Amino acid sequence: MKFSDSHLSQTETLMSIREKVEAGERLSFEDGVRLYKSNDLSKLGQLAQLVRRRTNSNRVFYSVNLHLNHTNVCTLRCLFCAFARRPGEEGGYTFSTDEIQEKVRTAIEKWKINEVHIVGGHNPELGMDYYLEALRKIREVSPSIYIKALTAPEIDDLAQRSGLSYREILEQLKAAGLDGMPGGGAEIFAPVTRRKICADKIDAETWLEVHRIAHSLGLRTNATMLYGHIESDEDRVDHVLRLRALQDETHGFYSFIPLSYNAENTPMGKIGEAGGFLDLKVYAISRLLADNIPHIKAHWITTGLKLGQVALSFGIDDLGGTNLNEKIVHDAGSETPVDLKSEELEHLIRSAGYEPTLVDSSYQYLTSAS
């Protein structure tokens, strides 16, 4: 989808959009593209903060979570991925369900995590029995921990191999202990761009349908967007508006997480990695366009802690979790910490002038630091 800007100057454009934002009016596709054409970063941040403070006051949310990437064996060939190994390839690994249980037990005892985030490759050796057993074993360790697991492409992969419908798979996973789903696998919805970077992955309509079904079952989910590669401004706006349309229908998204492309060790290489300017622009515009999604999260492991802190002035109200043991982004070159302490996140939030609020992905307040 392409857009030709009008005769309006950038200043006039931002003034007209500000009037909409102040009135609580929904921004259009054209508005979104105009925002991306603007390089007045400070004004974009100010606009985003109007919405951010209206929605979440002075709170900034975080969790103490374990990233559990249970297998890197994958049949897909996504050009932006440095994590996956083909079946039989050197370096491939898979955790047993006992190992998963022990990693969660250790993380609870050592770090007092309140959430486990499980995503991995499309491993043809792992069926429904494996995932159901893994969830049950986590529940044996902790009946209350929030389990966020399996992206829409992983659900589709299970459906293709098991013969079960998306609904049947999600019902069984929920009964075994699943609380919600991560937003991975969305990448970029625009079909031409999507085919270029992840031709093997499910299309946008399928991704949205899996989340639609999850929402209908009471499973709340996140949504993501991978940016900073070959996508256009129009692609980014289109992506957010498709999510906004599904949220109008289901009200099932908790948060939207723009993910900056990390190029190191990936087949696609360094073709367009985002800088800090684009990172902040994406955060601000996402907050303005995704008016019905409660939270916009900065995945600080892709941008770094310092920029994550700055992002709190550009519409971000969630700095994510401690992300203990995260592998996918770090395999792509991220040098951010893998064992960040909650005290460090709280300090970053408080020193930026905000109120740290401990939650899990349900955004139920567990502790509110002052």
For the chain, what is the mean pLDDT? 90
H or E, element range at 306: helix 305-311
As a whole number, mean pLDDT of residues 132-145 equals 97
CB atoms closer than 10 angstroms to residue 178:
25
The whole-angstrom separation of Cα 304 and Cα 216 is 35
Per-residue DSSP letter, 167: H
* pLDDT tens, residue by residue, 260-308: 987 665 556 556 667 899 999 999 999 999 999 999 999 888 788 899 9
Name the pairing type of β-strands 220-227 and 180-181.
Answer: parallel
Specify the pTM: 0.91
Phi, psi torsion values for 54, nearest 5 degrees:
-65, -35
> Is 59 within 8 Å of 357 (Cβ atoms)?
yes
pLDDT at 257: 97
Residue 216's Cβ-side half-sphere holds a number of Cα atoms within 13 Å equal to 13
- Pick from 70-84, 119-133, 346-360: least confident: 70-84
Q: H-helix or E-strand containing 37? A: helix 29-37
C-alpha distances out from residue 291 to 45, 251, 256, 287, 366, Å: 15, 12, 11, 7, 25
The per-residue pLDDT for range 225-264, each reduced to its tens digit, is 999 999 999 999 999 999 999 999 999 999 999 999 876 6
pLDDT at 62 over 70: yes
Boundaries of every domain in the chain: 57-368
273 φ/ψ angles, rounded to the nearest 5 degrees: -60, 140
The per-residue pLDDT for 303 is 81
Q: Where would I find the H helices in 88-180?
A: 97-111, 128-141, 152-162, 166-176
Between CA 125 and CA 313 the distance in angstroms is 45
> Is 330 a residue whose pLDDT tops 50?
no
Low-confidence winner among 106-110, 151-155, 177-181, 237-241 (lowest mean pLDDT)? 106-110
Torsion of CA 121, 303, 182, 2, to 10 degrees: -100
Q: Give 327's pLDDT tier (boundaries 50, 70, 90).
A: very low
Q: Which residues pair with 65 in a beta bridge?
A: 115
- Taking each helix axis from N to C terminus, what angle separates 233-250 and 204-216, rounded to the nearest 10 degrees? 20
CATH superfamily of 57-368: Aldolase class I (3.20.20.70)
